[in-house]
Copies of this chain bind each other. A is one copy, B any other.
Amino acid sequence: MAKSALQIERAQYVPKTPASIACGTSLVEGKATQSVADQDDIKKLFPNTYGMPIVTFQKSDSPVKAAPINVGVILSGGQAPGGHNVISGIFDGLKSINPDSKLYGFLGGPGGLVDHKYVELTKDIIDEYRNTGGFDIIGSGRTKLEEVEQFDKGLEICNRLGIKALVIIGGDDSNTNACVLAEYYLARKSGIQVIGCPKTIDGDLKNEMIETSFGFDTATKVYSEVIGNIERDANSAKKYWHFIKLMGRSASHVTLECALQTQPNITLVGEEVEAKNQTLDDVVTYIANAVAARAAKGLNFGTVLVPEGLIEFIPAIKKLIAELNDMLAANQAEFDAVADDEKLNYVVAHLSATNAAIFKSLPTSVSRQLALERDPHGNVQVSLIETEQLLADMVGKKLATWKKEGKFVGKFATQHHFFGYEGRCAAPSNFDADYCYSLGRVASLLIVSGKTGYMASVRNTTKPADQWLAGGIPITAMMNMEKRNGKMKPVIQKALVDLNGGPFKFFASKRDEWAINTDYVYPGPIQYFGPSAVADRTTVTLQLEHQ
């Protein structure tokens, strides 16, 4: 494929790594760990991988050398900038340990392991993908590794290729499954190690030991670039309120980080909406009040950031969706037979009084979407709801009422945007390029150290890269028990926005000013060259979390 000028220059970039793994390194074992909750349950489910110590790599004079090791790598789930650098880090790490080591890439995600689809990643291939975005080097996929048959199919191909370790690059669920696989392979004494790597632009895979998931830095910078441009447009044209929805269904980290970078007038945080038990009308009223306050100052423009998952964070709507899913599943044949223009009435008649009232209060476009557009599993497709447009419409209606009552004196015209795919495959920022490459190097060191059931860890990330701390965290230490599809399962605790954490508290202390004033900041696009103050800055979230 033809390369852009930027790709050609960027291929030369040498990622920065922690000084402790740059040349020689030695592994230091810390204290035994416990899971974050439900220790007895987790211990019972992971008898072989529970309680292992945190490990740290320390600078040493002797370079790590060993017999050749064959490793398989898997990209799991949605794209995140930097995946290619994790892979090049593993590759370089393995080759430095022994030039005869081999790296295999399983194609199209975890399914490639089960279906035995793979490619050997040679130097030529790796060099094509250094410092680039995307997961196209081997593709990704959403197959979940959960069944023993899948594990055994994986074992078969690993044995055939002489693979001693698998690296699974994925989000919380994929890393949970990596640990289940590690436990199974250890119990079977198969000799195959499994190492996880923390990936997701959503930023919800983090904890005391994992400071951030890779991709979050780059993706939020791309979104903040275009949000800043839109803000500057709003402030130049002075005639539109821009409603901007941002990817991230289960947590609002992306939205919060973009807010910290760009200082829009309104930012909705799903976790707060849930904690305060707000209704859709509460949210709409909150926005409408800000619009009216700015209008009173002659400012008939603004920007609103909305997390993709907002609708599901509203407790009343969450309950409605849950009942809808159950009710439609229970009455599927009957519901399918109902005439199209009677379907909404059918739904109302079959819901509890509370939920029927909420359902009726929604704009028809949304109630139709909830009732009529279901996925192959029969669930309502919440992700199809254009929340940004829904809010803009509802705010508009409220303001029209207020206008009649004399409570609103301005104009209200809107534009709406949704950003997600725009950022998942951007070329990694210097931070993500360095962080990912380091994670890959660390994964190779965990492998040569014989570790399994660990997640590669690089910490101290608000400092320059040479001061970063490299090591591994037992995945079981991040787990608790949660209900999934009606069953209790061991899972890595998802990190939602902490309403008592630094990032949210800083935002909360500023938002009233930001709402009424025009305090926009225009970050501009990611710079891969130039002054370090521009090219190497981390996310505001990370800075505020580690002040």
Residues of chain A touching chain B, judged by Cβ–Cβ distance below 8 Å, are: 1-10, 78-79, 108, 132-136, 139-140, 222, 225-226, 228-230, 232-233, 235-238, 242, 261, 263, 415, 417-418, 421-427, 518-531, 533-535, 537
Contact B533 A9 (CB under 8 A): yes
Contact A521 B1 (CB under 8 A): yes
Residues of B within 8 A of A527 (CB): 6, 525, 527-530
Contact B134 A233 (CB under 8 A): yes
Known contacts A421-B242, A527-B527, A529-B531, A521 near B235 by CB under 8 Å: no
User: By DSSP majority rule, is chain A's interface helix, strand, loop, or mixed?
Assistant: loop
Contact B526 A529 (CB under 8 A): no
Q: What are 20 pairs between A and B in contact, CB < 8 Å?
A: A1-B519, A2-B519, A4-B261, A4-B521, A5-B531, A5-B534, A6-B525, A9-B534, A132-B522, A133-B229, A134-B235, A134-B236, A222-B226, A225-B525, A226-B226, A226-B422, A230-B421, A242-B421, A417-B422, A530-B530
Contact A140 B522 (CB under 8 A): no
- Cα(A445)–Cα(B131), bound, Å: 46
Residues of B within 8 A of A4 (CB): 228, 261, 521-524
- Cα(A537)–Cα(B1), bound, Å: 20
Known contacts A1-B520, A4-B523, A139-B236, A417 near B427 by CB under 8 Å: no
Residues of B within 8 A of A9 (CB): 530-531, 533-534
Known contacts A242-B421, A530-B528, A521 near B79 by CB under 8 Å: no
Counting chain B CB atoms within 10 Å of each CB, the highest count among A525, A530, A531 belongs to: A525
Number of copies: 2
- Cα(A295)–Cα(B523), bound, Å: 40
CB-based nearest B residue for A78: B237
CB-based nearest B residue for A7: B522
Contact B263 A2 (CB under 8 A): yes
CB distance from A220 to the nearest CB of B (A): 14
Contact B415 A421 (CB under 8 A): yes
CB distance from A538 to the nearest CB of B (A): 11
- Cα(A520)–Cα(B4), bound, Å: 10
Residues of B within 8 A of A530 (CB): 9, 527-530
- Cα(A171)–Cα(B14), bound, Å: 45
Residues of B within 8 A of A132 (CB): 522
Contact A426 B236 (CB under 8 A): no
Residues of B within 8 A of A5 (CB): 523, 531, 533-534, 537
- Cα(A228)–Cα(B422), bound, Å: 8
